[in-house]
Amino acid sequence: MSQRVEKPWGHELIWAKTDRYVGKILHIKAGEALSLQYHRLKDETIMVLTGRLRFEHFAEGEAPKTIELGPREPFHVTPLLRHRMIAVEDTDVLEVSTTELDDVVRLEDRYGRAK
């Protein structure tokens, strides 16, 4: 099973979907960014496969922290953690998450998708 989904920042390839987890590869074009978002239930782990990205994260009420992630560097995104990925260069990210794919609350989005 593999499903490619076009996104304004690049695309995602869903390579596995079961009743317990979803596996994706996100391709983020250089200079593009995902929404500043959080999830109510979804728990995910990301790992950069190729490229580099700036990863902004913070809990509600905290100041944002930004780290740079490169190949083989993971990050665990827990529910309610505000986060955003910004590609420094073309970047591929492995994401394995729980199954709540529609559990995205967008706080800011450069493509007009914030609620």
Q: What is the pTM of this model?
A: 0.92
In the chain, the domains with their CATH numbers are 3-108 (2.60.120.10)
List, for residues 60-98, the tens digit of each pLDDT value.
999 999 999 999 999 999 999 999 999 999 999 999 999
Three-state SS annotation for the chain: CCEEEEECCEEEEEEEECCCCEEEEEEECCCCECCEEECCCCCEEEEEEECCEEEEEECCCCCCEEEEECCCCEEEECCCCEEEEEECCCEEEEEEECCCCCCCEEEECCCCCCC
